[in-house]
Amino acid sequence: MSDWLSPDVIASAPGRVNLIGEHIDYSQGFVLPFAITYRTTAQLRRRDDQRIRIRSKQRMDEVVSTSIAELNPGSQGGWELYVLGVIWSLGISEGVDIEIDGDVPLGAGLSSSAALECAVALGLNELFSLGLSRKELALLSQKAENIYVGVPCGIMDQSVSLMAESGSALLLDCRDLSTTLVPFDLGASGLELLIIDTRAHHALVDGEYAKRRQACESASSKLSISSLRDIELPTLIAAREKLSEEEFKRAHHAVSEMARTLEAVAVLRQKDFAALGELITQSHVSLRDDYEISCPELNCAVDVALAHGALGARMIGGGFGGSAIALVHQNQIEMVKGEIAESFKSNSFAEPRFFTSLPSAGAEITKKLVR
C-alpha cells in the first residue's frame, strides 16, 4: 500500500455557502454563493491497469476496489459513488488510485458532495491531461451527481467550488454559467457571517427537491416560457389563474428570489449590509412560506438570530435541515451562538454546530504531474 503515499497529482476543492439565490439554479436564475475555507482533497495516482481504488483518510480500513469496466450509473453505494461518477462522466479509460481527505462538514448542507466531485474532477483533468475548462468540469461533475448518483441537483455547487475566488462572492448566471466576482468583505464593516448547522436531516435525495424542480418546470410550461428566468413578478401574478396554487407559490419564490439576488449584488457593491440583511431574511420567508422547504430547526435558528441583533438570516441549500446563515456584528457572535444553542436545547433539538468562513478560493491543483 506504500504506493498510495506518492500521488502524481493533488487537487482540492471547497464547500460553499450561498449568500442568496436559493433553489433557482435549475430555473436558470442568478445565484450568489461563495467558497468556504473547508476543503476536500483528492490525491490521485495513475495505474498501469484498469483498476480503480478509492479510500478516505477518515476510513483508512475501507478500500473501494473496482474497475473502469464495472462503472455503472445508478449502482448502489455510499460516498464513493460521487468519485466513481466523476471518473465515469469524464470518460476516464485507465485505472487510478484516489485517496480523499478533507474537513468540509458532512451533512451540514455545505456541499461536501460538490467539493468531493470537483476535487476529483480537477485532479483527473490534470492527471490525464484532459484540457477541460472549469465550466466543463462543473457540468461533468453535475452530470456525475445527476446520472451516476441519481441526485437531481442544479449547477450552483459545482460551479462555485470550481470557479470561486478568495475575497469575493460569485455571481453565477445559471443560464450560461458566466460569472462575475462581487467583493465580499464583512470584516472591514465589523460583521461576520455565522453558519449554523442545525444537524437536522438534509432530504435532497428524498424526493422533495425533485418535486420543487418539477413544479417550476410545469409552471414554466403552462406559462409557455422555457424557464422561470423568462418572467417578471407582475406578469407572473397576472397569470396566476393559469397555475395550480402550488405551482404559483413555487414560481413566486423563484421569480422573486432572482430579483432579490440581483438587488443583493447592487447593495453589496455599495457595502449596504443593512439592506443585504433584509434581502437575506426575505429570502428565508420566501423559502419557508412559498417554497415550503424550511423546518422547525432552521426557522428557530433564523428567528433567534434576528431577535438578537442579526442584520439578516436565512436557511441555505436544499432545505429540510442543514445550515442557516446569519449576518451578525462581530461583537455579538458569541451571544447569538449562545442564544441559538439555548433555544435548540429548550426545543429538544439536536445540539447545533457553528462555523464561520471568509470567502475562499475555488478548486486548486497543489501538486502537479511532472511531464
Closer residue to ligand GAF (CB): 66 or 227: 227
Which of the 8 DSSP states describes residue 351?
P
**Integer CA distances (angstroms), 325 to 195, 302, 304, 311, in order:** 5, 8, 12, 11
Strand (E) or helix (H) holding 44: strand 33-46
Closer residue to ligand GAF (CB): 18 or 360: 18
Q: Is 33 in the site for ligand GAF (CB under 6 A)?
A: no
Torsion of CA 184, 185, 186, 188, to 10 degrees: -160
Residue 303 among the catalytic residues: no
Nearest distance from C-beta of residue 301 to ligand GAF, angstroms: 17
Nearest distance from C-beta of residue 103 to ligand GAF, angstroms: 19
Strand (E) or helix (H) holding 348: none
Using CA atoms, how far apart are residues 262 and 268, in angstroms rounded to an integer? 10
Q: Is 295 in the site for ligand GAF (CB under 6 A)?
A: no
Q: Which of 3, 25, 101, 157 is catalytic?
A: 157
Strand order across the beta sheet in which 33-46 lies: 59-67, 51-56, 96-102, 33-46, 9-18, 364-367
Nearest distance from C-beta of residue 206 to ligand GAF, angstroms: 13
- Please pick, from the candidates 85, 312, 318, 359, the single residue that binds ligand GAF as defined by CB under 6 A: 318
Nearest distance from C-beta of residue 26 to ligand GAF, angstroms: 6
Nearest distance from C-beta of residue 290 to ligand GAF, angstroms: 14
Nine-digit cell at 266?
Answer: 447592487
CA neighbor of 27 nearest in space, from 234, 238, 261, 282: 261
Q: Is 25 in the site for ligand GAF (CB under 6 A)?
A: yes
Which residues in 79-186 belong to E strands, given as ranges?
Answer: 96-102, 168-173, 178-183
Q: How many residues bind ligand GAF (CB under 6 A)?
A: 12
Using CA atoms, how far apart are residues 338 and 90, in angstroms rounded to an integer? 46
Nine-digit cell at 195?
Answer: 453558519
Q: Is 117 in the site for ligand GAF (CB under 6 A)?
A: no
Closer residue to ligand GAF (CB): 277 or 317: 317
Residue numbers 352-371 binding ligand GAF by CB under 6 A: none
Residue numbers 157-176 binding ligand GAF by CB under 6 A: 157
Question: Segment near ligand GAF (CB under 6 A), from 77-85, 152-160, 238-246, 252-260?
Answer: 152-160
Tell me which residue has cell 443583493. 264
- Please pick, from the candidates 11, 19, 22, 282, the single residue that binds ligand GAF as defined by CB under 6 A: 22
Could you tell me if 58 and 45 are in contact, meaning their C-beta atoms sit under 8 angstroms apart?
no
* Rg over CA atoms, the chain: 21
Nearest distance from C-beta of residue 126 to ligand GAF, angstroms: 25
- Please pick, from the candidates 153, 186, 276, 363, the single residue that binds ligand GAF as defined by CB under 6 A: 153
Q: Is 104 in the site for ligand GAF (CB under 6 A)?
A: no
Which parts of this chain interact with ligand GAF (CB under 6 A)?
18, 22-23, 25-26, 111, 153-154, 156-157, 317-318
Catalytic residues: 157
